[in-house]
A and B are shown apart, each in its own frame.
Chain A
Amino acid sequence: MRTFPLRCAPVLLVASLAAGCGGGYTWGWYVVSPWASKGQGNIAFLLSGLGWTVALAACAIAVSVVLGLLVALMGLSRNRLASGANRVYVEALRSIPMLVMVLWVFYGLPVVIGLKLDVFSAGVIALALCDSAFEAEIFRAGIQSIDRGQHEAADTLGLGFADKMRFIILPQAIRRVLPPLGNQFVYMLKTSSLVSVIGLAELTRKANELVVTEYRPLEIYTALIFEYLVLILVVSWGVRRLERKMAAADYRPA
């Protein structure tokens, strides 16, 4: 029953909002009510952004995991140039606010290097760059937590660096960092809302557009909160499942 308070929260929120505990404000839930015809149309409009949000987050996660892993391996290298590059990358990208990164990739890159990107690619790149710096640190911590004996056993068996990482070190390291990595995925899904500022028609953008026509921001943004909540619960569930599956593979009691 660990999930009980989590399940309770939206119910309480809706109840308090519906009860009108916000002082003199008159709520107009009809704009997003599934039982009103106007609400149904609006819900369909809001949900039409779902595909872009999911695609954006999925692509950004995929790219950032690969980038983060490469940057982490550079950071673990004995080569001074590689480990220096890792520090610069992590410190620089970690310090750029996500919103600024989104704006800069979309409006800045065409000016600086003549690279004109569509909003979706710009969003993926911005999100992936920012997150890869955090993921690099997560991966580095995971890899460093693996006992030196595992490296030594792999080395003495003659496994090369790539094979050692792929078959011995990374499978164990990734298992250990799944919880913080899942955290990062959730964070990324949420921050994908910032890409709405350059006009990608994802969930937040759709909500903004609806607010402009309906003049019901509180109701619409509340609906938006639920959209993200459901998405993130799905991601959390997936990560937990993965954790259990991977944990089951070893340390099974005899």
Chain B
Amino acid sequence: MPQTQTGEPIIRIEAVDKWFDGFHVLRNINLSVRGSEKLVICGPSGSGKSTLIRCLCRLERHQRGRIVVDGFELNDETRNLAAVRSEVGMVFQSFNLFPHLSVLQNLTLAPIRVRGMAPKDAEALAMELLERVRIPEQARKYPAQLSGGQQQRVAIARSLAMRPRIMLFDEPTSALDPEMINEVLEVMEGLAREGMTMLCVTHEMGFARRVADTMVFMDHGEIVESGPPARFFEQPATERCRAFLSQILSH
């Protein structure tokens, strides 16, 4: 169910190239994302899809081209970097919760230290977000005491606590046992319904069909194909995309 989207792109990626040592991992990437748009990026492993979204919060640096997020160009300007990072939330495959902090502290640390929020307000916000990901009763526990699905939901809530305008998901369900995948996808679908701008790298094609406005297929560091999911799944334009889809949809 596509949302109404604002016209101006919130993310603009123009002619971006990136190399890891000699390896050309992103090749001439051009992509723009409008506010509230949901983008699902898929492709075989090593195709550069994770690297691409990691570039959007500058966990990786691109070497050529321009990336503009919410009006700020990502470059060596540290002021731009801070501005972008406070607008962009990131969810990792391996959760990366802080193991020495309670669930509640995981959520309140950044709002208090980065946003300057009063601890009481930060806790109220954290509890509200934990309700939203449906685990308020785990607030006092430590990450190691939670299941994988619960940990990933805490990680999503932790990102949301910074009130980002854009959420990036890097294979958020790939490290989960099968029975825990749905609880995480449901939270993500809820976010999508509320109009969050989302970029997800995932192999969950059912989720992609339900949520995506735009599908992007990457291979060998290039965007091979992109378009609305209906066309993407029914009539992929390229042979490479067709082969990939038939492989991952067959099981």
Contact = CB atoms under 8 A, between A and B. Distances in A.
A149 B109 contact: no
Contacts of B98: 150, 153-154, 168
A12 interface: no
A116 B99 CA distance: 48
Interface in B75-103: 82, 85-86, 88-90, 92, 94, 96-101
23 contacts: A147-B96, A150-B96, A150-B98, A152-B96, A153-B97, A153-B155, A153-B158, A154-B98, A157-B109, A157-B110, A157-B114, A158-B110, A160-B82, A167-B109, A168-B98, A171-B100, A249-B100, A249-B142, A250-B99, A251-B99, A253-B145, A254-B141, A254-B144
B144 A251 contact: yes
B159 interface: yes
Interface of B: 57, 59, 82, 85-86, 88-90, 92, 94, 96-101, 109-110, 113-114, 141-146, 155, 158-159, 162
A175 interface: yes
A158 B114 contact: yes
A155 interface: yes
A159 B109 contact: yes
Interface string A138-165: 0000000001011011111111100100
B79 to A, nearest CB: 12
Given A149-B94, A175-B100, A157 B85 contact: yes
A168 B101 CA distance: 9
B96 A153 contact: yes
B99 A157 contact: no
Contacts of B142: 249-252
B99 A172 contact: yes
Contacts of A160: 82, 114
Interface in A212-254: 249-254
A161 to B, nearest CB: 10
B113 A159 contact: yes
Nearest to A163: B113
Nearest to B147: A254
B162 A158 contact: yes
Contacts of B158: 153, 157
Contacts, number: 75
Contacts of A254: 141, 144-146
Contacts of B90: 152-153, 156
A156 B113 contact: no
Nearest to A166: B113
Contacts of A252: 142, 144-145
Contact of B100 (A152, A158, A172): A172
A243 to B, nearest CB: 14
A120 to B, nearest CB: 37
A153 B114 contact: no
Given A147-B96, A250-B99, 10 more contacts: A149-B94, A153-B98, A153-B158, A156-B59, A157-B110, A159-B114, A163-B113, A167-B109, A251-B142, A252-B145
Contact of A157 (B94, B100, B101, B162): B162
Contacts of A251: 99, 142, 144
Contacts of B155: 153
B213 to A, nearest CB: 24
